Every structure is written in structure tokens, then in C-alpha cells.
Amino acid sequence: MARVRIDQVTKRYGQTEAVRGISFQVDDGELVVILGPSGCGKTTTLRMIAGLETITSGHIFFDDMSVGGIAPAQRNVAMAFENYGLYEHWSVFDNIAYPLRLRGETDQTIQRKVLSIAESLRIADVLEGRPGRLSGGMRQRIGLARALVREPAVFLLDEPMSHVDADLRNDMRAEIERIHLATGSTMIIVTHDQLDALALANRVLVMNGGVIEQYDTPEEVYDSPVSTFVAGFVGEPPMNVVPLDHAGRDGHDVLLGFRPHRARISVTSPTGTSSLALPAKVYMVESLGNRTLVTVSYGGGLLKADIPTTVEFPLDSDVWMEVDNADILTFDAQTGRRTDVGSTSVSNNK
């Protein structure tokens, strides 16, 4: 197993900085998810850790050893790609067994390990077939199996569930988590799906525009986002963000943020001073079984309340959206950063 440390790493393609001086650490045995939109630098970061991309500047360490001059094959990492990287003329069995044969494992050991991982990922019945004839989701599972079967010091998974059907996604999350717990290996997963990140990670590293927005536990990233970007990217539905109707500290404009499940909808004007009350109109009401998602129009935008009961409000009716002051975060409107937090445990060399 290994601790992975990224120290002031930058990656440039010509004049474009894909990754901009980032620093963070993944502890030995930790499962970290790098989360962000397309083009944020997350896959480039993963490929630099694997040795498949050169570093423009900075250093990457496995434990206390710099791996900058070490070839990918010598880093004891296993990587599963979004585009599968399978050998189409080989059987599924041979694709999964390939890294074990390179390592000189016995035929009996290979048979046992391949069958075990194939059964876990529900591909045992296609081991004799070829990948080219299978669905995208099935091919993705084969690529994942080939990475996991190696039992390396570091797993690097690039969008491991991007082509998996919705009904299998939860099962694959559980299987990845089970393998992580069983092996105790360091695991770094790249995804654009915030639900996968929140469900899987010990810590989530949120990237945007080549820099790190936040690096923390899933609970902290969800409940205490350090920027309006994180507030809007993490959560389904995302955090509501509205402007304060007067300047905040130091004369800067302030934005207020609150999660939809913290909001309440009422038809009468709230009393008291312990909560924020916004006059709004009902835009849409969606029943979601045991809860209701109410969208209201306010100040030219739309806000959402996720209510844990089944309720009805007439469309375009006047209502109040109310949220307790204790559940409200404040952000600087100019920078988008939280106004009540300090530095995080990562750095960006901008």
C-alpha cells in the first residue's frame, strides 16, 4: 500500500494550464474521489499519478519516494480507463488475466482470482466471449476487473461507472467499496458524478478550472461547501444561493446559501427573527413518493425546497420560503468563497 502526495504539480499543454500548481495527500489505505466537471483537470491529475502524463512542474511521491522518473509499469498501480483499453481479439478471461500473467502468477492462482473478481462484478458468464460483442457497461466492468485483480498498492479508476446502467450502478458502488475495505489499498477515483463521490469516498477532492476548490469528507463538502461552485456542483438538487439585500462585512456584497432540505414552504407570513423568510411564487411541485420537491420563483431566479412530506401547492400561488439562520452559509459575491472559513488542507499555486 502507499501514501500518495502531490506537491505543487502543474501540467501545461502549450499555453494551456490543465492543472495549476495543486497540492494534496491521499493517505495509505484511503479512498479519495476527485470530483469535477469536464475539463477541470481531474483525469490529467490521475494520469500524472499513473505516470501516463509527464509533469510540467512539481513532484509526486508514493510514500516518501518521488516517482517522477519511474515508468508506469514500475509504480505498482492499476488503472481502469473510461475508454476501457481492452484487447478486442482476446477473450474476456485473458483480458482480466493479463496483468497476473505479466507478474508470473501460476495458472491455478490466475483461474481463482479471475473467477472471483468476475463473479463479484457479474461477468463470469461472459469470460469466454470477446469484449467487442458486449455492451458498454459490460466492457467497463471488464476494465474494472482487470484493474482490481492485480491487488496493487494504488488503484486509479477513471470514471469507472460512466457507462453502467442505472440499475447496476448501486451494486458497482458497493462492490468497489467492498474491494477497498477487503484489500486496504489506496484508491483514487475520478468522476463527474457527485452521487458516486458522496457514496464512495473517505474524502472528496473537488476540482474546477485546474485548481482545487475543496478537499474534505463527503459530509463537510455537502454541508459546508467553501465556495459557491462547490455549493452548486455537489448536491441534488444543488444548494440554493440568493443575494443578500444589503452589503455584508467590509462592504462586500454577500450571497446566502442553504440546502433545499433545510427550507420550509408556508402560505402565511412567518413571525420572529430567527429565520430568513423570502416571499415567492410556486413554480412547480414534484411528488417524489415520500417527499415533495417544491420549486419557487424569487428575485428573478428559481429556488427549491425538499420537503419530507407529500404536500400540494397551487401553481403561481404566493408562498413564503423560510430557512433557519443556523442553516444559512454566507459567501462573498465577488470571489464566491465562504466568508466564515479559513484555508483548507490543500493548496493551489495560482
Per-residue pLDDT tens for 78-98? 888 766 678 999 999 999 999
pLDDT band for 350, please (50, 70, 90 cuts): very low
pLDDT band for 340, please (50, 70, 90 cuts): confident
pLDDT in tens, 59-68: 999 999 999 8
pLDDT of 345 strictly over 60? no
228 burial type by CB count under 10 A (0-12 exposed, 13-18 middle, 19+ buried)? buried
Question: What are the E-state strand segments in 27-82?
Answer: 31-35, 57-62, 65-66, 77-80
The conformation of residue 132, written as its DSSP 8-state character, comes to G
Q: What does 101-131 look like in DSSP terms, one character per residue?
A: HHTT--HHHHHHHHHHHHHHTT-GGGTTS-G
User: Span 238-332: which CATH code?
Assistant: 2.40.50.140
Residue 6's pLDDT is what? 98
Domain chopping of the chain, boundaries: 4-231, 238-332
pLDDT band for 247, please (50, 70, 90 cuts): low
Length of the chain: 350
C-alpha–C-alpha distance, residues 240 and 294, integer Å: 12
C-alpha–C-alpha distance, residues 340 and 331, integer Å: 8
pLDDT band for 211, please (50, 70, 90 cuts): very high
List the grid coordinates of 19. 492543472
Residue 78's pLDDT is what? 85
Residues 6+ positions from 204 with CB-CB distance below 8 Å: 32, 33, 35, 197, 198, 214, 215, 216, 217, 218, 221, 234
User: Span 4-231: which CATH code?
Assistant: 3.40.50.300
C-alpha–C-alpha distance, residues 230 and 340, integer Å: 15
The conformation of residue 236, written as its DSSP 8-state character, comes to S
pLDDT of 248 strictly over 90? no
Write down the mean pLDDT value for the chain: 90
pLDDT of 344 strictly over 50? no
pLDDT in tens, 3-60: 999 999 999 999 999 999 999 999 999 999 999 999 999 999 999 999 999 999 999 9
Determine the 3-state secondary structure of 292 from DSSP. strand
pLDDT of 250 strictly over 70? no
C-alpha–C-alpha distance, residues 319 and 305, integer Å: 12
Of the candidates 179, 223, 158, 170, the residue with the CA atom closest to the CA atom of residue 199:
170
Residues 6+ positions from 185 with CB-CB distance below 8 Å: 1, 29, 151, 152, 153, 154, 155
List the grid coordinates of 17. 494550464
141, amino acid identity: R
C-alpha–C-alpha distance, residues 273 and 50, integer Å: 54
pLDDT band for 314, please (50, 70, 90 cuts): very high
78, amino acid identity: A
270, amino acid identity: P
Of the candidates 45, 330, 21, the residue with the CA atom closest to the CA atom of residue 189:
45
Of the candidates 129, 131, 126, 128, the residue with the CA atom closest to the CA atom of residue 143:
131
128 burial type by CB count under 10 A (0-12 exposed, 13-18 middle, 19+ buried)? exposed
pLDDT in tens, 127-140: 999 998 888 778 87
pLDDT in tens, 154-170: 989 988 877 677 777 88
List phi, psi (to 5°) of 235: 115, 140
**Most trustworthy range by pLDDT among 84-93, 120-129, 312-321:** 312-321
pTM: 0.85
C-alpha–C-alpha distance, residues 86 and 143, integer Å: 7
C-alpha–C-alpha distance, residues 20 and 15, integer Å: 12
Determine the 3-state secondary structure of 8 from DSSP. strand
pLDDT in tens, 251-300: 569 999 999 999 999 998 887 777 899 999 999 999 998 899 999 999 99
